[in-house]
Structure 1
C-alpha cells in the first residue's frame, strides 16, 4: 500500500494551518466542516455565489494533501459517456476488422477482447474511483447545479457506494473513497437526497478584513493603500443592486491589473478604464462608469481617511 505523502489533518487547528500553508484564508467554520468531511469520509457540499472560492478549496486540498485532483466540470446535457466512461469505438472496430482478416471466428473471444480494459476510456467519475489505498484523489464535482435532475440522480447512486457498474466488465469499486467536493452556484436547488449524503457549508463573500488579507497574499506587489481602496470599493459594489456582484476572484484580478499599471491609488479615470476586470456585464459597467462609480470612490476615500 502506498503511503500518504501528506497525512490528513488531525484537528481543526491543523486544518486551518493546512489551508493557510496554501495561502487560502479560511474561517473556523469552513475549517471545521472540512476537517469533519475528511474524518467522516463524507462529500462536502459547498454552496455560494460564483467567485467566492469554492472551487479553490478543492485545488488547495489536493495540493496540501499531495493527492491527484480529478475535476468533473458540470454543464447542461452532461451524460454518462462524458462523466463516467465510454468505449473506444474506432479501436474496437479496428480489432474486429483484424479478427475478420485473420479468420478468427470465436465470437466470445472477440467480444472479450474488444470489451477489455484497454479499450475503456475513463472519464472523471471512473478516474476518481481508481485511487490506490492512501492515495485516493480529490474529486471536484464543479457547478452541479448546471446539470439536470437525471444526472444528479445517477450521481447519487455513485456517491452512495463509490462504485460504477459497467455491463461488459462488471462492477468497479473504489479501493478507497475519494475526497469529494461538490460545488454549486445555486442557480437551481439540488435534491435533498443528495444533500443528505453530504456535509454542507455556505461560502459567503468575505469581510473587508479577510478580503484585504487575501489581496496581500495573492497580489503581494499591490500597494497597501491601493489594496485598501480596492477592497473597500468592491465591498460597496456588493451592497448595490448589480446584475452580478464581483467575487473574490474578480477582486484579485482587479488588484493585479492595477498593479500591472503601476497604480498606487484609485482615481475615477482608472476605475472607469479597468472596470472590465471587475464587472462582467455591460449594464453593470455602464452604471459604475457614470456618477455611481465616482460616488462610491468618494465614499471609499472618505471612510478610509476617517479610519486613519
Structure 2
C-alpha cells in the first residue's frame, strides 16, 4: 500500500494539522481550501481510514490520525533538513575535496595553499594526491587537478591561475668550460639536460625581439622525468636546460645560474586548475585561494613544472 501513497499529500496533511484549519493551511501552501480538502480526502482513501474529523467550525484528529501525524511530521522534518543541508553544500564549502598534483609542484604550490584553505573552511576534509601520472578526474573521483605548462584540448574545464616563464640557464662552471651560446642555433653543439615528460624534450622554439622564430634540435647529455631532478643536474654543471622562472629565480639572483639568450623568448606556460563540469563552491573557493596566493609577491618561492597535458 505504501507504494500507492502520494508523498506530497503527507506534507499537505502535516501542514493542515500544524495550521489548525483548512483555510490557514491553504494560505501557507499557496493553494485553495478546496484543494487542501481534496488532498486530505484522497490520502484517507489511499490509506483506507479516516485521519481528520471535521465539521463546519472545527477539525480534530482521530487516534489513527494522531499517530500518523507524528510519523509524517518526522518524515517532513527529515526532508526539510536534507534540503537545508543540500543548500549549505551549495553555499558553504564542506565535505571531501580530492586534489591531484604532480610531485614537482604539489608539495610546493598546492600543500601550502591547502593548509590555509583548511583554516578558512574547517568543514572541508581535503585529500592531496601527489604523483607524476595524469589522472582521470572523473574515473578517479578527483574534484580538481593542478597542472602546469600547456593544456591540450579535452572535455575538461580549466582556470588559468598564473603565468610560467621559461628560463634558459646554465651554471657559470659549465659556461667556463664549454662556452656561452650566442644564438639559438649554437645550442645544438652544447650538452643538454632534458625533461622527458615534455612532448618534445629536445626541440625548442625561440622568438627574438623582432618576432622571428627559430626552432632548435638539441642533444641530451642527461635526462630525467622530474623538474627537480633536471634542476639538480643543471646545478651540477651537466649542461644547459630550461627551468620555470619560479624554480630558477633564486639561483639566478645568487649567480649560481646564468641566463642565456636573453634577447630570445620561449613560449609562456601557465598554472591551471582543471576540473570536470561546473565547479562546486568548495572547488571554486580553493581555486580562488590558490590564484590569490600565486598572484602575491611572496609566491616567488613556489616551484613550477614546465609542461604537462590535460
Higher strand share: 2
Q: Identify whether the pair has TM-score above 0.5, normalized to the shorter chain.
A: no
TM superposition score normalised by structure 2: 0.24
Higher helix share: 1
TM superposition score normalised by structure 1: 0.24
